[in-house]
Structure 1
Amino acid sequence: MLKLLRYLRPYRQMVFLTMLFMLLQSIANLYLPTLMSHIVNEGIVKENTAYIWTTGGFMLLVSAGAAVLSVAASYMASRSASGFGMRIRSSVFSHIERFSLEEFDKHGTASLITRTTNDIAQVQQVLNMMLRMMVMAPMMCIGGIIMALSKDAELSIVIIVAIPILVLAIFGIGSKGIPYFKAMQGKIDKLNLVLRESLTGIRVVRAFNRIEHERGRFNRANEDLTATAIRANQIMAGMMPVMMLMMNATSIAIIWFGGLRISTGHMQVGDLMAFLQYAMQILFSLMMASVMFSMVPRASASAARIHDVLSTEPVIVDREQASVGKASAGGDVVFDQVTFRYPGAEKPALSDISFVARRGQVTAVIGGTGSGKSTLASLIPRFYDVESGCVQVGGMDVRDWPQSELRTNIGFVPQKALLFTGTIADNIRYGKEEATTEEIRHALDIAQATDFIENMPDGLDTVLSQGGANLSGGQKQRLSIARALVRQPGVYIFDDSFSALDFKTDAKLRAALKSETQEATVIIVAQRVNTVMDADQIIVLEEGRVAGSGTHRELLATCSIYQEIVTSQLTEEELA
């Protein structure tokens, strides 16, 4: 947790003022019992009314000052902790944005969301408490012991005996609860994962009538978390009764032995009352420490998880020699003996892939499910790095490109069309922020999306729900294609982006794309023969290897894998 405290640096003055105010408040609280003892000894016992009023009024001023200091310290602590939380959330989010897909696969999206929200909230809450208590608790404990000794050193033996017993009890209870608090964070991850899968996949859940199954998964994860939380709180709940038992036992012992000392004339009544209050302040400070002791383990586990994210360096980074403008915009895309395997996989997803996708031509990639088509497409914008060989864009290895410039030069349409909450125009401008309305309309015309948008009441200003849930699959794909077209890149990658389109729309879209992308390199990944048969070059993949390459007619004559794909999709009349 200490490693995260660097995010408090901009709030150094507030932290200092918080500690100063808490110090002054502690001094005021420690002074009040002494004033009370003076009122009893000098005022009540001696029947000095004027002294009672004077000292009582001064006590009220000290109490009011302590209250003002407490409010000010709480305000400063809250501001500091909130600012700390804001800065660390921004830092974690910015760091996660630098992650390659490998880091996302490693940590998991649900876990990253939990760490950015719940874990940071835990640390922020404990920090807020620590800023106030890290001064107050030791000051009240040490100051209380000193003041108690000044009142009666012999009676202080009661406190000296009580404190070690109480500390051992707190340590014993807390050490048993720590593992449960650490386990809770992992189980919150699991709950978030189940919840996220159930909500994002609600259509599939309902289509297969698996609502009860998902409810059971959620209930099991929820009950597992609840059982751990109950067990942890059951252990920590034992702390309060122990504290109260020790406080009451200490009070009885002080009153008992203090009464004996008063009867022998070694102590005054007011001093006994003050001594009793100092004892309670000491034990109360230990109680505050015990509360922190119960919260710090969970915050420490959260801090470790946050630090784990921040200390994870992306495997894909710009090389030192990478510089803007070295390669030409657009240009050929070259795969030179590329082999790639996913982290932890036994066999490569792609093996010895070599081909050239030329500028001004359409290169299609086709193959069965799991043949490596989407993996191949993801290597061009450098979502992953190759194991051996190289991928070149514009005459330069993609690893030598600055990532931002490389991806600016690529219009990527993913397999799953993803839209963001906002208007249609906002989603298209995601591809080019400064795009004009005319450029947006042109991109939509090419993507064959103008017709259905014009039928919407608000046109381009129509607000899309999360993930574009108020659109059909084909509509989402066309908007996703328009988003890539509007940036007019040198390389287009369509990763199975026409799968939800009907054959008529598919044909019209590809015809419109030809005139729009004459100066660009176009790579189309597809499973439908109709989508790829007009391509200038078709690459056939089978189990991560190139099984054949050429035009549609050349492959029909030379590649048995392509023949199988074609005959499974086209009739004899279409083949003829």
Structure 2
Amino acid sequence: MWRLIKRIPFWAMFGAIVFALTQAIGELLLPTQTARIIDEGVAAGDMQAIYRIGGQMILITILVIISAGISVYISARTSQNLGRKLRNEIYTKVLQFSKENMGTYGEASLITRSSNDIQQVEVTVMMIMRMVLLSPAMLLAAVVMAVLASPELSLVYAVSGPVLALLIFIILRIVSPYFKSMQRKVDDLNLIFREGLTGVRVVRAFNKSDFEVARFAEANKDYADTAIKAMFRMSFLMPIMTTILSLTNITLSWRGAHLVAAQNLSVGVILSFVNYSFIIMFSFMMLGMIFVILPRAQVSAQRINEILDTEITIHSPENPVSIDRQAPGEVTFEDVAFRFGNAEHNVVDDINFQVKPGETLAIIGGTGSGKTTIANLLLRFSDVTTGAVKVNGTDVRDLSLNNLRDL
């Protein structure tokens, strides 16, 4: 994931940080202003203080809205541009794949990687630029402001904070494998769906429609069951967070009431503490959302990087020979043998023939006998294991791919 994040322009990351911090500072000033308007305005009956502090709160709110809007725009634009570039790169790379490269991944997986996986990365990048920068800043600053307002009352956070963080970590640790599994099962769904669509005539001809429907339904149910398990476990996150933070607010109110009664604390500070609790809860919620999508995004990023890092097995030579397109074409196979990858046996073996200009050659045989393989070797969709394929006496491996396929 870090490899993809490093593609984000510096100006975009800097802008997101600046406006996210501006938004955080503004939101953290509002509880302080609330305490002031209660203590200096309402409690003292000073309408001028209420108007003055209220006006400041309106200005701060406008600043928060503007900062949030700009931050969202920068994050959305950056994440979508990254997705666009990744789709272009993957499409360009796949067009250069040999038959062996294609066989390594499969068409269904390539479709998933260039669509669903990139969407996961886009969403995660936007969340990172918005929430990873904003949430920790707001969380830390809210705790600091609470400590400055009342060190004694802020001790409540010293208990509830670590408990909440530990429970969130446990739940996310349990859920993470399910999200990773879901991404792989999307591949299976796309594979079956693609095979059913592209081979629909064969499926109908052999009366296998019911078989294919049952096959898809089984894979679909497998994906749904995994998603349900993941979401069910994730569903505990929000009630746990709400319960702990509600207990925190109850404790703050109970302890704060005693401090107010003893005239050691003002009512406005208690209200500001309640607001800080909501900010802390919101920060934990945003961090929780990030930790939910990050495991899936990490898997997606790995799958995208696999495509980008794949070594192309078929490529043009450094100093290619050129054949004029208007020249008469002669095709020769000399002692050609071919096998797939680490297979034990050759698909075709000891193939020798010559087709001169104006001649026609028919190749017949059953399924899997090597008819398509011979055509693939001529066009260099695959390279021969031994022997040579020649055009006008020149080995096709000495020609550029553009020249060969143009012929």
TM norm structure 1? 0.68
Q: Aligned in 2, Cα 1:7/1:162: closer, same or farther, shift over 3 Å?
A: same
Deviation, structure 1 residue 173: 0.2
Query: What does 1:147-296 correspond to in 2, within 5 Å?
Result: 147-296=145-294
- Change in Cα spacing, 1:359 to 1:304, as seen in structure 2 (3 Å) is same
Amino acid aligned to 1:126: T
- Amino acid of the structure 1 residue aligned with 2:4: L
Q: CA deviation at 1:308?
A: 1.2
> How far 1:56 sits from its partner (Å)?
0.6
**Would you tell me which structure has more helix in proportion to its own residues?**
2
- Is 2:9 the counterpart of 1:5? no
Give yes or no for contact 1:327–1:394 (8 Å, CA) kept in 2. no
Residue of structure 2 equivalent to 1:29: 27
Distance 2:162 2:322 in 1: 66
Is the partner of 1:136 in helix, strand or coil? helix
Check conservation: 1:318, 1:402, Cα contact below 8 A.
Answer: yes
**Contact 1:327/1:396 (8 A) holds in 2:** no
Identity %: 39
Q: Would the alpha carbon gap of residues 170 and 88 (structure 1) be closer, same or farther in structure 2, given more than 3 Å must change?
A: same
Aligned counterparts, 1:46-85, within 5 A: 46-85=44-83
Distance 1:332 1:202, change over 3 A: closer
Aligned partners of 1:330 and 1:393 also within 8 Å: no
Structure 2 residue identity aligned to 1:352: D
CA contact (8 A) 1:7 1:87 kept: no
In the alignment, residue 138 of structure 2 is paired with which amino acid? M
Report which of the two structures shows the higher radius of gyration computed on alpha carbons: 1
Q: Which residue of 2 aligns with 1:94?
A: 92
- Cα distance between partner residues in 1 of 2:99 and 2:239: 50
Quote how far apart the aligned CAs of 1:384 are.
0.4
CA distance in 2, matches of 1:175, 1:312: 31
2:49 partner letter? Y
The change in CA–CA distance for 1:26 and 1:104 in structure 2 (over 3 A counts) is same
Q: Which moved more, 1:270-279 or 1:351-360?
A: 351-360
Which SS does the other structure have where 1:365 is aligned?
A: coil
State the Cα RMSD in Å: 1.9
Counterpart secondary structure, 1:8 = coil
Match of 1:332 among 330, 333, 355: 330
Give the structure 2 partner of residue 357 of structure 1.
Answer: 355
1:359–1:163 distance in 2 versus 1, CA, 3 Å: same
- What do residues 149-172 of structure 1 show as CA deviations (whole Å, max 9, x unaligned)? 110112221111111111111110
Matched, 1:144 2:134: no
CA distance, structure 2, for counterparts of residue 15 and residue 367 of structure 1: 60
Structure 1: tracts of 5 or more residues without a match: 410-576
Paired letter, 2:15: L
In structure 2, how many angstroms separate the alpha carbons of the residues matched to 1:85 and 1:48?
55
Larger deviation, residues 172-181 vs 312-321: 312-321
Mapped to 2, the partners of 1:269 and 1:408 lie a distance apart of: 83
Q: Is the CA contact (8 Å cut-off) linking 2:132 and 2:290 kept in structure 1?
A: no
Output the CA distance in 1 between the equivalents of 2:203 and 2:339. Answer: 32
8 Å contact 1:335–1:391 — kept in the other structure?
Answer: yes
Corresponding pairs, count: 407
Structure 2 CA distance for aligned equivalents of residues 79 and 251 of structure 1: 38
> Residue 351 of structure 1 aligns to a residue in which SS?
strand
The code of the aligned residue for 1:178 comes to: S
Q: Residues of 1 paired with 2:31 and 2:328: CA distance?
A: 81
Quick check: 1:148–1:279 contact (8 Å CA) kept in 2?
no
Q: Which runs of 5+ in 2 are unaligned?
A: none
| Aligned position for 1:518 | none
TM-score (norm 2): 0.95
Aligned partner of 2:144: which letter? I
- 1:259 is displaced (CA, Å) by 1.7
User: What is the distance in 1 between the residues matched to 2:143 and 2:351?
Assistant: 77
Distance in 1, matches of 2:366 and 2:198, equals 27
Report the residue type matching 1:210 in the other structure. Answer: K
Amino acid paired to 2:108: A
Name the CA distance, whole Å, in 2 between partners of 1:231 and 1:201: 33
Question: What is the identity, as a one-letter code, of the residue corresponding to 2:192?
Answer: V
The answer (yes or no) to whether the contact 2:96–2:312 under 8 Å persists in 1 is yes
What CA distance in whole angstroms lies between the structure 2 residues aligned with 1:250 and 1:402?
A: 71
User: Aligned AA for 1:174?
Assistant: L
Aligned twin of 1:378: 376
Q: Which amino acid aligns with 2:8?
A: L
Conserved 8 A contact 2:26-2:64? yes
CA distance in 1, matches of 2:299, 2:205: 40
Aligned to 1:131: 129
Cross-structure match for 1:44? 42
* The 10-residue stretch of structure 1 (274-283 or 148-157) with the greater mean CA deviation from structure 2: 274-283
Trace 1:449-464 onto structure 2 (pairs within 5 A).
Answer: none
Within 5 Å, which residues of 2 pair with 1:83-122? 83-122=81-120
| Alpha-carbon shift at residue 322 of structure 1 (Å) | 2.6
Task: Call closer, same or farther: CA 1:206–1:334 in 2, change over 3 Å.
Answer: closer
Question: How far off its partner does 1:209 sit?
Answer: 3.6
The whole-number CA distance in structure 2 between the counterparts of 1:228 and 1:182 is 10
**C-alpha distance in structure 2 between counterparts of 1:205 and 1:237, whole Å:** 41
**Whose strand fraction is larger, Structure 1's or Structure 2's?**
1
